[in-house]
């Protein structure tokens, strides 16, 4: 992108040498006499003007050529022969008398000679410049000195600006761990995920699907960014929320928990930073934005057992891949706003944790929800879910809402007798179209929205029955532990 020699000063050319007199005769008109030329204003004449000298007229006088004082004047003989054409010079005027005007106008100097002289001067100047450059190069060739200027070293106190991605990542990385999970038994396979320090006691927050394979008789380890590895054990896990809490068996002192943000205050367009171990590449940092909020997501755990997790997720375009699961999604300040949990699969069109790779559609559990689950798991070791006491059809989608099924699992009543839905007057076949101020378009969307609340919360439901719309107040119940 640079231009060679641009901006270099051009050396001044030497002064133009005197122009030699033209040998050709003055131009003549059709009658054989010289063509007159308008007289030019003569330069300033010194006080003692030398007598007119036809012989000296052949060479123009330069500004610095001053005739010697009291030079004797010898009138030249008039020219003769074929080249004769000059008129006889006038007699010298008396001392002090004005010089009579010449009877012949001054001759016009040819421009061709001047142009040629300029070209010659330019060529000579170019040749001199090239010669000097070559000579200088020759002189430097054998010299031990160098004209190369060494680059200055970076300032010793160089630091990233506070709030930059580098600064945020540098502060967060020491609190992020890569989790290795190995199932029990010989030849059992393992998996890799991510977690982060939740408190100073050594609790690590991650996804349930990261540790599920090692939860029953397997082994778990957590490796920090400095390379130190610690054994870990499961404190509690919630399959429905896809949240799990581990504890380091010999937690080091000086653990720094990541600060938690407020996922309710996140706005679409906010910057995000994801940290994890995609495809086993620990301590990977990617960036993006919040591209949507309250995205209803049902993701599988990859076991094929039909155990899904439901979340009203934060959607981000920060690159998230298998191995990022359980890692923190940070805001621009470095506070955790979510736990990276699922990505959209281009191949199957489904959502889960074992897809081929990121296509810019990642989903994170909002930290406000994950924090409540984590605190519950640390206290009791088991999750608690809010419920409405009704079984809804999970296969229907679109804009039809969440339809209460004709019957529950195993032939049980679809509306639990004495449960929240029953007390609100709901019946099988009713279609729930709104939960609070959120529009409901399917069963998974309803479950995702219910699980953003707590048991005991009162919510207004809007439902349709027989083509008519109605509302009901529901007080959410609770269910402890994971079923199925």
Catalytic residue from among 175, 203, 209, 282: 209
Task: Write the CA distances from 468 to 73, 276, 435, 460, 471, integer angstroms.
Answer: 134, 49, 17, 17, 10
Measured CA to CA, the distance from residue 149 to residue 155 in angstroms comes to 18
Note if 209 is an active site residue.
yes
Measured CA to CA, the distance from residue 339 to residue 243 in angstroms comes to 9
Element (H, E) at 366: strand 362-366
Residue with tokens 């540790």: 211
Note if 203 is an active site residue.
no
Of 321, 367, 376, 366, residue with least CA distance to 344: 321
Long-range contacts of 332-336 (CB under 8 A, 24+ apart): 332/163, 332/168, 332/270, 332/271, 332/273, 333/163, 333/168, 333/261, 334/168, 334/171, 334/172, 334/258, 334/259, 334/273, 335/258, 335/259, 335/260, 335/261, 336/196, 336/258, 336/259, 336/260, 336/261, 336/367
Q: Tell me phi and psi for residue 387, to 5 degrees.
A: -140, 160
- In contact, 404 and 428? CB cutoff 8 Å: yes
Catalytic residue from among 221, 263, 325, 358: 325
Residues in the chain: 484
Three-class DSSP category at 462: strand
Structure tokens at 385: 């879910």
Structure tokens at 230: 């610690």
Structure tokens at 250: 């010999």
Note if 457 is an active site residue.
no
DSSP-assigned beta bridge partners for residue 177: 195
For every residue of 351-364, DSSP letters joined together read EES--S--SS-EEE
Give the count of alpha carbons within 13 A of 269, CB side only: 0
- In contact, 301 and 309? CB cutoff 8 Å: yes
Catalytic residue from among 242, 301, 317, 331: 242
Measured CA to CA, the distance from residue 198 to residue 182 in angstroms comes to 22
Structure tokens at 26: 């003055």
* Those residues with Cβ within 8 angstroms of residue 111's Cβ, 6 or more apart along the chain or in another chain: none
Measured CA to CA, the distance from residue 480 to residue 385 in angstroms comes to 6
Measured CA to CA, the distance from residue 35 to residue 27 in angstroms comes to 6
Catalytic residue annotation = 209, 242, 325
């Amino acid at each position: 992108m640079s231009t060679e020699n641009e901006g270099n000063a051009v050396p001044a050319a030497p002064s133009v040498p005197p122009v030699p007199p033209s040998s050709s005769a003055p131009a003549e008109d059709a009658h054989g006499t010289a063509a007159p030329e308008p007289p030019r204003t003569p330069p300033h004449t010194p006080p003692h003007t030398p007598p007119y000298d036809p012989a000296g007229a052949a060479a123009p006088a330069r500004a610095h050529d001053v005739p010697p004082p009291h030079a004797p004047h010898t009138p030249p003989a008039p020219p003769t022969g074929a080249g004769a054409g000059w008129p006889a010079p006038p007699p010298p005027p008396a001392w002090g008398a004005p010089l009579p005007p010449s009877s012949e106008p001054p001759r016009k100097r040819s421009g061709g000679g001047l142009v040629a002289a300029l070209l010659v001067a330019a060529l000579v100047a170019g040749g001199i410049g090239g010669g000097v450059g070559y000579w200088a190069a020759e002189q430097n060739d054998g010299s031990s000195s160098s004209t190369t200027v060494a680059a200055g070293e970076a300032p010793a106190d160089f630091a990233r600006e506070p709030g930059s991605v580098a600064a945020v990542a540098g502060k967060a990385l020491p609190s992020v761990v890569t989790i290795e999970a190995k199932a029990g038994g010989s030849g059992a396979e393992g998996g890799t995920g991510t977690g982060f320090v939740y408190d100073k006691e050594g609790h690590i927050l991650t996804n349930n699907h990261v540790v599920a394979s090692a939860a029953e008789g397997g082994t778990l380890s957590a490796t920090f960014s400095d390379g130190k590895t610690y054994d870990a054990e499961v404190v509690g896990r919630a399959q429905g929320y896809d949240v799990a809490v581990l504890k380091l068996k010999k937690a080091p002192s000086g653990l720094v928990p990541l600060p938690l943000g407020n996922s309710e205050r996140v706005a679409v367009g906010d910057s995000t930073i994801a940290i994890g171990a995609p495809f086993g590449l620990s301590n990977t940092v990617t960036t993006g934005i919040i591209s949507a909020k309250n995205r209803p997501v049902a993701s599988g755990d990859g076991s094929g057992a039909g155990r899904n997790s439901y979340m009203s997720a934060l959607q981000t375009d920060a690159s998230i891949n298998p191995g990022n699961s359980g890692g923190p999604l940070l805001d621009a300040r470095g506070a955790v706003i979510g736990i990276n949990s699922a990505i959209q699969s281009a191949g199957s069109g489904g959502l889960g944790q074992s897809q081929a790779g990121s296509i810019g559609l990642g989903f994170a559990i909002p930290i406000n929800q994950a924090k409540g689950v984590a605190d519950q798991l640390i206290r009791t070791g088991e999750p608690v879910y809010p419920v409405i006491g009704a079984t809804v059809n999970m296969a229907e989608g679109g804009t039809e809402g969440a339809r209460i099924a004709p019957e529950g699992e195993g032939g049980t009543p679809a509306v639990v007798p004495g449960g929240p839905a029953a007390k609100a007057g709901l019946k099988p076949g009713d279609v729930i179209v709104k939960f609070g101020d959120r529009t409901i378009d399917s069963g998974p969307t309803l479950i995702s929205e219910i699980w953003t609340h707590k048991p005991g919360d009162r919510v207004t439901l809007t439902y349709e029955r027989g083509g008519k719309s109605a509302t009901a107040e529901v007080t959410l119940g609770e269910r402890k532990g994971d079923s199925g």
